[in-house]
Amino acid sequence: MRILLQKHIVLLFCFFLLKTVHGQEINGVKISNDSFDFIDYSSNVVQYNNALLMEKLYLKWTQKNNKFTIAHFGDSHVQLDHFVTDTRNYLQQQKGNGGRGMIFPYSIGKTYSHTDYTSKFNGNWKSANSIQTPPKIPVGISGFVATTKDTNASFCFYFKTQFDNLPKTIKLYYRNPNIGYKLRVNSANLSNQVTLEVGESNYISTIQLNKIGDSLSFQLQKDSFDSTEFSLHGISIENQIPGLIYHNLGVGGASYSALLNQTYFDEEIKTINPDLFILDWGTNDIIYTNKIAEDLISIITKTILKVKANCPNAIILLTTVQDMNYKGKNINSALSFSKIINKIALENDCLIYDWYKVSGGNSKMKIWESYELGRKDNIHLTAKGYKLKAKLFSEAIINSIKHYEKESIHLPVLLLEKPDSITIKKTIDKKSIIIDNQIPVKQKNEKTQYHVVKKGEKLETIARKYKLTVEKLSKQNKIKSNKIHIGQKLIIKKT
């Protein structure tokens, strides 16, 4: 689908070209924006249909002496953490370091950890996560849970990167229904002990430490030998100063139904109260069938409504998935997914980051692999690839906020035309052609071209040039008045 641009988008792109810092380093890796010609840099923006969304984001971001909290939900692309760690570092350079955010002892769950730490545990533990339908054990906001009945169980985190020396607030998310546990927390030769409250209504305990060293250990103790279970849902590490907190809430293998499977999401997410939700699933929704499931739109919409019901003042940003290959076949339904996400974002007042388009679109994963940016599985990226993605994503957020601050008139920023309708069909009828067996589009019985408004041109002269009425040209471009702007790109449809 061709790009629909208006004056403000052209200015936005120019702003990006002027303001983007070439050759910037993230974690010591230098990546130049002009290194890869397959990246669509002109599309690297945060899109929105309702300018009030960007205004809300701008006001939250620019508010001084506040915490700005991001909750990034997703699949293995998120849990792998290369992407999130570098995005966190980049954005904290701009906003300040409000804390590390959520961690979990993934060794208990027998899965891979985030990139900046490992974990070990002692005692008998059970675990579950949100990719199970339903999870074997109720899970919370991290998407994981670890339970134990041991009277003396423990777990420890070993950090690969050094924390700053600022005082830390550690928030423990847990369930402890029948009997109290004592919890001792140790790090950097400092310790603190708390008694975890009993009851279903108690699910968060706050511990203060003056600093965190190379490791952070948690020792559980209970006096009774009964069968009461302690359930751990996650641990948040936060600085006691303003700045950005970025929670990695990815679960490898998760699809869009994952958040709906999180039993304790409703009550626990309110304690985090994110300013920005990033909903970053999709790969596991399409990769195995190369189709859009009939209930996918409903599931995505339910997920958005669940977030809005619990955090009505938060902003939601949807993402699309990158081109990929599975078992030697291209997953061309990634384009269908991109169109669906665009439509859902429009209908539900969400921001959107179209990673599918930014990363190059169809059949580009092999190119990513050839540049050592994509892995051989043609699904995931390499560490270098995720660093590039993090840089692009971070710049899209920051530059979109800066652009909004500079502009006096705020119009919708939408790079894709709105699909007239998206329905799921299994057969082809005479009136439609099916793309990827999912999205019907009209047969081509009209020609579409574009006209960029030049200085001195009026709507009447442009309509006359293409033998159209002013009314029809206005309707095609959803223009409610006769005012047009230099650089505005008009759709010209001729039947």
- Last residue in a domain, options 241, 260, 294: 241
Residue 420 within a domain: yes
Instruction: Please tell me the total number of residues recorded for the chain in this structure.
Output: 495
Residue whose entry in the numeric block shows the structure tokens 């979109």: 400
Picking from 401, 319, 405, 406, the residue whose alpha carbon sits closest to that of residue 91 is 401
pLDDT digits (tens, 9 = 90+) for 257-283: 999 999 999 999 999 999 999 999 999
- 370 token code pair: 């050839």
Asked whether residue 280 falls in the same domain as residue 381, the answer is: yes
pLDDT digits (tens, 9 = 90+) for 315-365: 999 999 999 999 999 999 999 999 999 999 999 999 999 999 999 999 999
Asked whether residue 110 falls in the same domain as residue 138, the answer is: yes
Cα–Cα distance measured from residue 140 to residue 172, given in angstroms and rounded to the nearest whole number: 12
Asked whether residue 269 falls in the same domain as residue 223, the answer is: no
What average pLDDT score do residues 40-67 get?
92
Residue 229 within a domain: yes
CB contact at 8 A, 276 and 315: yes
Instruction: Report how many domains make up the chain.
Output: 3
Q: What is the CATH number of the domain that holds 482?
A: 3.10.350.10
Cα–Cα distance measured from residue 135 to residue 258, given in angstroms and rounded to the nearest whole number: 10
- Last residue in a domain, options 241, 266, 289: 241
**pLDDT confidence of 168, banded at 50, 70, 90?**
very high
Residue 409 within a domain: yes
The whole-number pLDDT of residue 495 equals 59
Picking from 331, 328, 400, 388, the residue whose alpha carbon sits closest to that of residue 35 is 388
Asked whether residue 232 falls in the same domain as residue 107, the answer is: yes
Residue 438 within a domain: no
215-221 β-sheet, strand order:
117-122, 154-159, 215-221, 181-187, 190-196
pLDDT digits (tens, 9 = 90+) for 203-243: 899 999 999 999 999 999 887 666 678 999 999 999 999 99
Mean model confidence pLDDT for the chain: 85
Residue 207 within a domain: yes
Cα–Cα distance measured from residue 282 to residue 379, given in angstroms and rounded to the nearest whole number: 12
Strand blocks (E) in 37-189: 67-74, 97-103, 117-122, 125-129, 144-148, 154-159, 168-175, 181-187
CB contact at 8 A, 12 and 45: yes
- Percentage of residues of the chain with pLDDT beyond 90: 65
Q: What is the CATH number of the domain that holds 318?
A: 3.40.50.1110
Residue 435 within a domain: no
Picking from 89, 94, 139, the residue whose alpha carbon sits closest to that of residue 114 is 89
Asked whether residue 156 falls in the same domain as residue 248, the answer is: no
Q: Which residue has the higher pLDDT, 477 or 90?
A: 90
Asked whether residue 306 falls in the same domain as residue 419, the answer is: yes
Q: Is the pLDDT of residue 300 over 50?
A: yes
Q: Is the pLDDT of residue 304 over 60?
A: yes
- Kindly list the distances between the CA atom of residue 361 and the CA atoms of 39, 142, 346, 369, 396, in Å, as whole numbers in the listed order: 9, 31, 21, 14, 17
Cβ neighbour number for residue 240 with a 10 Å cutoff: 11
pLDDT digits (tens, 9 = 90+) for 354-387: 999 999 999 999 999 999 999 999 999 999 999 9
> Picking from 4-8, 50-54, 303-307, 450-454, which range would have the lowest pLDDT averaged per residue?
4-8
Residue 469, domain extent: 444-494
Residue 433 within a domain: no
476: CB partners within 8 A, 6+ apart: 490, 491, 492, 493
- Last residue in a domain, options 201, 217, 241: 241
The whole-number pLDDT of residue 1 equals 41
Asked whether residue 234 falls in the same domain as residue 263, the answer is: no
Residue 53 within a domain: yes
Q: Is the pLDDT of residue 29 over 80?
A: no
Residue 351, beta-bridge partner list:
317
- Kindly list the distances between the CA atom of residue 399 and the CA atoms of 47, 432, 480, in Å, as whole numbers in the listed order: 12, 39, 29
The whole-number pLDDT of residue 51 equals 87
Instruction: Give the CA radius of gyration of the chain.
Output: 25
- 480 token code pair: 């409610």
CB contact at 8 A, 412 and 349: no
Asked whether residue 379 falls in the same domain as residue 310, the answer is: yes
Give the three-state DSSP class for 419.
Answer: coil
Asked whether residue 276 falls in the same domain as residue 174, the answer is: no
Cα-Cα-Cα-Cα dihedral sign, residues 266, 267, 270, 276: negative
Q: Is the pLDDT of residue 475 over 50?
A: yes
DSSP states along 169-235: EEEEEEE--SS-EEEEEEETTEEEEEEEPPSTT--EEEEEES---SEEEEEEE-S--SSPPEEEEEE
The whole-number pLDDT of residue 447 equals 59
Picking from 311, 419, 365, 239, the residue whose alpha carbon sits closest to that of residue 60 is 311
